Structure 1
Amino acid sequence: MPSNAHEIPIEFVKNRPRFVMRLLEDVFDVALPRYDYADMASENCTKFKTANFYSDRVVALRRGSRVCMAVIAEVQRRRDKRKRYSWPVYLATVHENLKCPVLLLVFCPDEKTAVWARKPIELGQPGMRLVPFVVGPDQIPVVVSVEEARELPELAVLSALAHGGEEEKILVACAEGLNALGDEEFSVYHEYVVSALTGAARENWDALMADPTFTYRSDFARRYINEGKAEAKAEARAEAKAEARAEAKAEAVVAVLGHRGLHVSGEVEGRITACTDLDRLDTWMERAFSVDAAEDIFD
């Protein structure tokens, strides 16, 4: 049971909440925000409705059977003011669970979000501020060593996404890093790289994957890449066929209008031949047999 030494000061606070404000201002020189009055709130520090907090990942650094440090790894894709309240909860909870120092590492895919995430989180208690370690695109190391890429393919992937447009060696290292993975990881990592690379980096990557001199570690990787090439070629052929059909239909629409003696201006012909929608061209073809003026097919 709590002693009087515990209960009486609590009673002071209950009876005169301003007592606490006075102590903070006079004893600890705390600059309080403007307020209208002070009253009591629930002393229950849990939420009224149970809430579970989950970080993305927690890495435990162990020395023998003892955890000597933990790192909370978070991925933050955009600003989210709620994180400025939940991140301190993550650290405090892991600190209590594992009984060790804890760091927060945040990965941000764009520099704008990274700048936001780096802002210190002031917890109010003097000396307590959380400054996350934030990894943005500018902080990703450049990996050009094949040996390093094979040892840490994840780092090689991040390097390729952040710097792949700068130097071909970066993409080569990434490819070699992926080539050292097992089948399941290879497919997942490769899809991630393909979906995230853009512009010149994507073109260079596709060229590298198509290079017949590149040796794939496993039959799976070779089949996976070849199947991807085959699918891409099939899609390209299908698109080419659709374009050819659209071009032929557009020419037919123009021919019908001309055969009926209607004047087809350059503007009308250009609009017809630029269309690739087969259904729309079918509609225009039906109208071409009955309209009084060429431009009426668009109505």
Structure 2
Amino acid sequence: MPSLEHESLAMLFQNRPSLAAEILHNALKVDVPDYKRARVETGDLTEWNPAEFRADAVVVFEAVAPVLAVVVEIQLRRDKGKRWRWPVYLAGLRARTRCPAILLVICTDAGIADWCAEPIDLGHPDWTLTPLVLKPEAVPVVTDAAEAVRDPELAVLSTVTHGAAYDRARMFHALLSAVAALEDVDRAELYIDIVLRALPGTPATELEAMMKSDASPYKSDLARRNYARGAAEAKVEAILTVLEVRGVPVPSEARERITACTDVAQIEAWLKRAAITRTVNALFD
């Protein structure tokens, strides 16, 4: 069963597929073809039964057609089985996408990284797979707030890897600036949780203290958005309550439309109409 840290790191690539290209090009100096978009592909690389092959994340870069496919594996411990499965991942993905395929392994431990980087002899003459491994020392140290805002997933990976370093105060400030800028509050909280779980005791305590500081961009911005979100949710509940008390039927489709709305101005308009409307359709007019 994959650990929470394992799943959390894989999620960074699922949330930001282009992170794979940034690491390949900037950290590992691998040429990445020009592409127009990056998309997450299913991690299921099974081609026959009963064996099942599932990668942690698969990213496909496309121009007009796929130009590069990347298998991203989060490796936090030695697993001899991976040395048999990784070649299958690449072969299956290459056959499915009809483009070159690369294996990118992410490690937070230097010893595990060295083990993952060992060449895999596939038996056929001159056929050897050498995994591309992002070792801890190759992970960029993100201490610039503007850079972190542009690439919050890289800021999370940087803090998880280097968060116990001596210059962590600047790194933490950059991370908090990045998560504060995210519009998705749940995503921001998830990224903070990932980092706090990964950091050892003292750095984690320092980050928590920084988060509670009135000067923290995370505290001020996230508190404001949490308040706005809570106020909007309360008004949505008020709309449904008013309609129920007045005996106005609310079909499931209408209820879903009301509860899914995040436009505060629209919610307020519906709340005013709920007091006088006779049908839910009139609420939306």
| 1:160/1:170 contact within 8 Å kept | yes
Q: Aligned to 1:192, what secondary structure does the other structure show? A: helix
Q: In the alignment, what sits opposite 2:212?
A: 210
Could you report, residue by residue, the CA deviation over 1:88-133 in whole angstroms, capped at 9, with x for unpaired residues? 0000001111010000001112111111100000111122111111
| 1:161/1:196 contact within 8 Å kept | yes
Q: Aligned to 2:69, what secondary structure does the other structure show? A: strand
Once superposed, which parts of structure 1, at least 4 consecutive aligned residues long, lie more than 3 Å away?
46-49, 220-224
> 1:156, CA displacement in angstroms?
0.5
Q: 1:67 to 1:200 in 2, by over 3 A?
A: same
Q: Write the letter of the residue equivalent to 1:219.
A: R
Whole-Å Cα distance in 2 between the matches of residues 150 and 205 of structure 1? 18
The size of the alignment, in residue pairs, is 178
Q: Write the letter of the residue equivalent to 2:59.
A: V
Whole-Å Cα distance in 2 between the matches of residues 67 and 130 of structure 1? 22
Q: In the alignment, what sits opposite 2:124?
A: 125
Q: Aligned to 2:160, what secondary structure does the other structure show? A: helix
Q: 1:56 to 1:48 in 2, by over 3 A?
A: closer
Q: 1:47 to 1:211 in 2, by over 3 A?
A: closer
Q: In the alignment, what sits opposite 1:176?
A: 177
Could you report, residue by residue, the CA deviation over 1:202-254 in whole angstroms, capped at 9, with x for unpaired residues? 23212210111223255345799xxxxxxxxxxxxxxxxxxxxxxxxxxxxxx
Q: 1:134 to 1:222 in 2, by over 3 A?
A: farther
> 1:162, CA displacement in angstroms?
1.8
Identity among equivalent pairs (%): 36
Q: Which protein, 1 or 2, shows the higher relative CO under an 8 Å CA cutoff with sep ≥ 6?
A: 2
Could you report, residue by residue, the CA deviation over 1:148-184 in whole angstroms, capped at 9, with x for unpaired residues? 1111111101111222232111111111111122111
Q: Write the letter of the residue equivalent to 2:188.
A: F
Matched ranges for 1:1-299 at <5 A: 50-64=50-64, 66-165=65-164, 166-167=166-167, 168-181=169-182, 182-214=184-216, 215-217=220-222, 219-220=224-225
Whole-Å Cα distance in 2 between the matches of residues 127 and 110 of structure 1? 30
Q: In the alignment, what sits opposite 1:232?
A: none
Q: Write the letter of the residue equivalent to 1:57.
A: A
| 2:47/2:92 contact within 8 Å kept | no
Q: Write the letter of the residue equivalent to 1:53.
A: F
Whole-Å Cα distance in 1 between the matches of residues 213 and 48 of structure 2? 60
Whole-Å Cα distance in 2 between the matches of residues 158 and 131 of structure 1? 23
Q: Aligned to 2:197, what secondary structure does the other structure show? A: helix
> 1:75, CA displacement in angstroms?
0.7
* RMSD across aligned positions (CA): 2.3
Whole-Å Cα distance in 1 between the matches of residues 120 and 227 of structure 2? 48
Farther-moved stretch of structure 1 (85-94 vs 187-196): 187-196
Whole-Å Cα distance in 2 between the matches of residues 222 and 116 of structure 1? 48
| 1:186/1:221 contact within 8 Å kept | no
| 1:179/1:221 contact within 8 Å kept | no
Farther-moved stretch of structure 1 (46-55 vs 172-181): 46-55
Q: 1:218 to 1:47 in 2, by over 3 A?
A: closer
